Amino acid sequence: MSAGAKSGTLVVCKDCDAVYSRQPLPWQSRARCLRCHGALYRDHREGFDGTIALATAGLIAFVITNVYPVMSINMQGSSNTATLWQTVLAPERYGLGAVSVLVAMMVFFTPMLQLLLTLYVAIPLHLRHRPRGFATAMHALRYLRPWSMVEVFMLGALVAVAKLAGLASVAPGVGLWGLVGLTVLMTLLLLDDPHRFWDAADTCVDGLGDKVARTV
């Protein structure tokens, strides 16, 4: 589907500045830099339907994570549950608002924006349209990328279970399974190479409706 960058165009290693000429790659394989072994580019013959499927599934997992409790605890007959947002807000109750802001950013806002923005750019590109604000969305995705920590939060939930094991009976909630799904889907989604979005957008008609193909 997506045209991708033409073979023969130049590609530069981001880690060591070495210049290469793009060559056609075997299906879904990856070219690495000869000097520093950094990733250069991947085979991009697949379209955006996989991306859309992953992001949609990720959004469903995200909703499950947020609607259902992540964990429940039972202690001497009384029980308590924690949803993702209760976890985010807990430090703030004790005057540690800064911690709440960090947690909210890393396990709620960043993954949510990543999923929504990915769909916002991938669906039009799949239909060969360049969405309005494409560049802004792509830059936002780049800035968000390092700050998404769903997988770390999932491991944190396991550690919390172990810490409470001797003290009370702990049960994973539906939200924890949502978190597991979200971790897997986000990981797969972030394997994608953002450069191919830019390359694909170059060959699309403008989102404003005028049928002028953008030059490569």
Partner 1 sequence: MSTRVVTAHSIGLRPCHVCGQVHRAAGAQAIRCPRCQTRLRVREHNSVSRTWAYLLATAILYIPANVLPILQTQQLLVTRDDTILSGIAELWRSGAWDLALIVFVASILVPLVKIVSLSFLLISVQRRSSWHPKARTRLYRMIDFIGHWSMLDVFVVSLLAALVQFGPYAHAQPESGAVAFGAVVVLTMLASMSFDPRLIWDTVPAGPVPDSITDD
CB neighbour burial string for 73-92, b if at least 16 within 10 angstroms, e if fewer: beeeeeeeebbbeebbeebe
Site string for partner 1, 66-85 (x = CB under 8 A): ----xx-x-xx-x-xxx---
Phi, psi of 12 (to 5 degrees): -120, 135
Closest to partner 1 by CB, 109 vs 147, is: 147
- Is residue 6 a contact residue for partner 1 (CB under 8 A)? no
Q: Which of 1, 67, 139, 174 binds partner 1 (CB under 8 A)?
A: 139
Site string for partner 1, 181-200 (x = CB under 8 A): -------------xx--xx-
- Shortest distance in whole angstroms from residue 144 CB to partner 1: 13
User: What distances in angstroms separate CA 74 from CA 67, 71, 86, 166, one per listed residue?
Assistant: 20, 10, 17, 12
Stretch that binds partner 1, among 45-53, 112-120, 135-143, 205-213 (CB under 8 A): 135-143
DSSP string of 47-100, one letter each residue: -SHHHHHHHHHHHHHHHHHHHS-SEEEEETTEEEEE-HHHHHHHHHHTT-HHHH
- Is residue 135 a contact residue for partner 1 (CB under 8 A)? yes
Tell me the chain's radius of gyration from C-alpha atoms.
21
Site string for partner 1, 148-167 (x = CB under 8 A): -x--xx-xxxxxx-xxxxxx
Site for partner 1 in 10-29 (CB under 8 A): 10-12, 14-20, 23, 25-26, 28-29
Three-class secondary structure of residue 28 per DSSP: coil
Site string for partner 1, 25-54 (x = CB under 8 A): xx-xxxxxxxxxxx-xx-------------
Closest to partner 1 by CB, 5 vs 56, is: 5
- Could you give the CA distance from residue 83 to residue 68 in angstroms, rounded to a whole number? 6
Closest to partner 1 by CB, 132 vs 139, is: 139
Closest to partner 1 by CB, 56 vs 100, is: 100
- Could you give the CA distance from residue 12 to residue 128 in angstroms, rounded to a whole number? 27
- Could you give the CA distance from residue 96 to residue 49 in angstroms, rounded to a whole number? 42
Stretch that binds partner 1, among 102-110, 125-133, 182-190, 203-211 (CB under 8 A): 102-110
